[in-house]
Amino acid sequence: MIVLNDRIRIDDIRRIVPGIRLKIPLFSSYVAAGFPSPAENYIEKVCDLNDLCILNAEATYFVRVGSDSMSGDRIEAGDILVVDCSLEPVGGRIVVVWLNGDHVVKRIRFAGEMIVLESSNPKYLPIYVHPGEDFKVFGVVTRVIMKPV
């Protein structure tokens, strides 16, 4: 059995430098004593979570969710979002935006001149962004990191 004791506190892991990588071999096999693993020759690349989650490292930021307004999309308070600021905010995608003094996570829709920010929790009403409001798209959410309960 594998004991997963969580000895490194998450706060202690710091940068998103691609050089610091968690390497998980793509193939693994038991090594018979004295004989090299026959699979060894096939291990050419290791899976890297950074490759999977981060396409544009320079423009990617992590943000923490602070509300339950997107719970319909299984985004809960405390989850971490991977946000790519180089992507265009296409209608229908989940985005992080700056709106009237706060950063918020919402699904964005374009209705003519109007921008609509939808929550996926029925408790929250859609927000209509009017021209002239303090509004700016921060980036597009590309991954959600959550801890299963």
Partner 1 sequence: MNLIGITDCNNFYVSCIRSFNPKLIGQPVIVLSNNDGCVIARSNEAKAVGVKMGQPVFQMDKLISDYNIQVFSSNYEHFGDMSRRVFDSMGRFLENVHVYSIDEAFFEASGYEAIHPDLEEFARMLINTVGQWTRIPISIGIGETMTLAKVANKYCKKHPELGGVFIMDTPEKRNEILSDFPIGDLWGVGYRYQALLKRNGIKTALDLSKMPHDWIKQFMTVEGLRLVYELQGIQCRSLDTEPLHKKSICCAPSFGTKVWSLETIREALATYVARAGEKLRRHSSAAGVVTVFLHTNRFDKVGPHYSNSQTVILPHPTSSTMELLQYADTVLESIYRKGYEYQKVGVILNDIVSESHQQELIFNETPDQRQAQLSKLVDKINGRYGRDKIRLAKQGFYEKNWRMHQRHLSPCYTTKWSDILLVK
Q: Cite the active site residues.
A: 69, 106
CB of 26 to partner 1, least distance (A): 22
Single-letter amino acid, residue 149: V
In contact, 98 and 136? CB cutoff 8 Å: yes
Give the residue, chosen from 5, 15, 35, 147, that forms a contact with partner 1 under the rule CB under 8 A: 15
Using only C-alpha atoms, what is the Rg of the chain?
Answer: 20
Tell me how far apart the terminal alpha carbons of the chain are, to the nearest angstrom. Answer: 21
CA distance 72 to 68: 9
Q: For the window 71-100, what string marks contact with partner 1 as x by the rule CB under 8 A?
A: ---------xx---xx---------x-x--
Q: Name the residue nearer to partner 1 (CB basis): 12 or 44.
A: 12
Q: Which of 3, 4, 14, 112 binds partner 1 (CB under 8 A)?
A: 14
CB nearer to partner 1: give 64 or 74: 64
50 sits in which H/E element: helix 49-53
Would you say 38 or 66 has its CB closer to partner 1? Answer: 66
**Dihedral sign (CA 10, 11, 15, 20):** negative
Q: Which residues bind partner 1 (CB under 8 A)?
A: 8, 10-16, 20, 56-59, 61-67, 69, 80-81, 85-86, 96, 98, 101-105, 134, 136
